């Protein structure tokens, strides 16, 4: 038995006759859809902080329409598409599902966001398209009651967080197409996609139509086009561009200099993630640094939990087989719990600061 209200079903043609739902969350969705259908031209959204400090920005209606049409074309989502809206409509990913539905003529089923959206749906509900965060898809596949129902979601678009190795392996076994998105509030949702399974699997992201792209002198991606209202959005993402595709390397602010060698922490995280998967270690982790007199910045691995579950000595040799000597952490630390930001993301810097303070205290 779940604690969520019944799903709210709607379509652009039928929506105008519906009364405003009493439930607060559905009411927010209703208010946005009403303002959209009344012709509102400007909307204020909150950025996630991907390109700087979180802040409110104004987005033009034309940008939202351009983004919706790009997605519809890229994923072949025509009029009549049955879409499940299970992301928070207060943020760009959920909001764009509503825009796509109205602009492209979809039939939408809107539910309040939860860890496992299939738990909150009737057994007979099937869809052509759903956008999820990786945690939601992982919850669906880890639940014995819903794991064999994932096909009900149709094409799946993942965004908002990296896809961990354990989830990637499960995705590769699925027959329905699963895509990972690249984008942010400033680009009005995604501007590139990559297929995570099937014959069209790709490690590189493919730019969507009408996106103008390039890199700055750091090698970081910049983007412009109708979705940015012609303005250039500069990111901190290091990329390697080939034709109309790019490989994501890592964040420029996640690069350290250890003994004169630049180390991309995101790359190290990916390698360690593979090792953890092979060793069947489910603990959360991240790679960071501490100040070192000899190296300047010394690479460390921080694991959430206790060392009793496994030995650090078992991990380092396996990492060394997969990564270079420079990219192998010089020390492993264990902490009971990671510090989190107000948006529930791991605060790596604060976690390490508290770790060192506890050791020095």
Flag whether pLDDT at 295 surpasses 90.
yes
Percent of the chain with pLDDT over 90: 76
Contact of 80 with 106, CB cutoff 8 Å = yes
Question: How far separated are the first and last CA of the chain, in Å rounded?
Answer: 48
> Residue 155's closest CA among 114, 196, 209?
196
**Tens of pLDDT, residues 199-255:** 999 999 999 999 999 999 999 999 999 999 999 999 999 999 999 999 999 999 999
In the prediction, which pLDDT does 1 show?
Answer: 31
Flag whether pLDDT at 14 surpasses 60.
no
> Residue 103's closest CA among 72, 60, 59?
72
Give CB contacts under 8 A, 24+ apart, made by 172-175: 172/196, 172/197, 172/201, 173/197, 174/150, 175/151
Q: What are phi and psi of 276, to 5 degrees?
A: -60, -40
The model's pTM: 0.88
Provide the pLDDT confidence category of residue 48 given band limits of 50, 70 and 90.
Answer: low
Contact of 105 with 55, CB cutoff 8 Å = no
Flag whether pLDDT at 185 surpasses 50.
yes
């Amino acid at each position: 038995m779940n604690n969520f209200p019944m799903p709210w079903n709607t379509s652009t043609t039928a929506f105008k006759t519906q009364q405003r739902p009493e439930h607060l969350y559905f009411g927010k969705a209703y208010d946005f859809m009403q303002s959209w259908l009344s012709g509102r031209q400007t909307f204020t959204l909150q950025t996630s902080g991907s390109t700087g400090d979180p802040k409110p920005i104004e987005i033009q209606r034309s940008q939202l329409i351009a983004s919706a049409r790009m997605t519809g074309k890229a994923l072949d989502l025509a009029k009549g598409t049955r879409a499940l809206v299970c992301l928070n409509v207060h943020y760009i990913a959920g909001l764009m599902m509503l825009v796509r539905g109205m602009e492209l003529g979809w039939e939408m089923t809107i539910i309040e966001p939860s860890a496992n959206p299939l738990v909150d749906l009737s057994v007979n509900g099937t869809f052509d398209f759903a956008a999820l965060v990786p945690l939601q898809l992982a919850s669906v596949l880890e639940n014995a009651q819903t794991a064999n129902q994932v096909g009900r979601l149709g094409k799946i678009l993942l965004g908002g967080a990296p896809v961990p190795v354990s989830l990637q392996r499960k995705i590769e076994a699925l027959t329905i197409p699963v895509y990972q998105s690249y984008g942010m509030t400033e680009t009005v949702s995604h501007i590139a996609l990559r297929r995570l399974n099937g014959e069209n699997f790709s490690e590189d992201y493919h730019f969507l139509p009408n996106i103008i792209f390039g890199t700055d002198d750091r090698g970081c991606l910049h983007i412009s086009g109708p979705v940015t209202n012609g303005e250039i959005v500069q990111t901190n993402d290091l990329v390697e561009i080939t034709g109309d595709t790019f490989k994501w390397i890592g964040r420029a602010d996640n690069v350290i200099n250890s003994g004169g060698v630049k180390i991309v922490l995101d790359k190290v995280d990916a390698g360690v993630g593979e090792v953890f998967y092979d060793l069947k270690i489910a603990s959360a982790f991240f790679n960071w640094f501490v100040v070192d007199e000899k190296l300047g910045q010394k690479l460390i691995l921080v694991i959430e939990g206790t060392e009793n579950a496994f030995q650090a000595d078992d991990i380092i040799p396996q990492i060394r087989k997969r990564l270079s000597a420079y990219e192998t952490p010089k020390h492993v630390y264990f902490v009971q719990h990671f510090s989190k930001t107000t948006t529930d993301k791991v605060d790596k810097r604060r976690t390490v600061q508290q770790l060192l303070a506890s050791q020095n205290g």
